Amino acid sequence: MASEAGEAAGAKADLKLQFAPFSSALEAGFWHQLTQKKLNDYKLDESPKSIKGFYYNGDPVGLPTRLTLEFSAFDVDGPTPVRCSPALGTLTT
């Protein structure tokens, strides 16, 4: 019985929180929206703008986790896709 408890404790000790590096994915829709915003809304305004991407880590083992910016990045109050975590940030132009 004591050896089972020791094995369980050893198994728990092997579980570690590890950093998972991510790869960024800027979709074509993001670049299109940025162009439209810069030409029509921001113009020469270079002040920082709030944006929202999303982080997804449900890909198969061996594939990097993704931080994605898409066309909806400028709608910081918009919905976040299912099984994703929001990633708020600042855009400087």
54 in Cβ contact with 87 (< 8 Å): yes
User: Is the per-residue pLDDT at 1 higher than 70?
Assistant: no
pLDDT for the residue numbered 5: 54
Residue-averaged pLDDT of the chain: 85
Residues 87, 26: Cα–Cα separation, whole Å: 13
Could you read off the pLDDT of 38-60 as tens digits, one per residue?
A: 999 999 999 999 999 999 878 78
Query: In this structure, is the dihedral angle defined by the CA atoms of residues 46, 51, 77 and 35, taken in order, positive or negative?
Result: positive
Residues 70, 84: Cα–Cα separation, whole Å: 13
Greatest alpha-carbon pair distance for the chain in Å reads 72
pLDDT for the residue numbered 12: 64
Q: Which CATH class is domain 21-91?
A: alpha beta
Residues 93, 84: Cα–Cα separation, whole Å: 26
pTM exceeds cut of 0.85: no
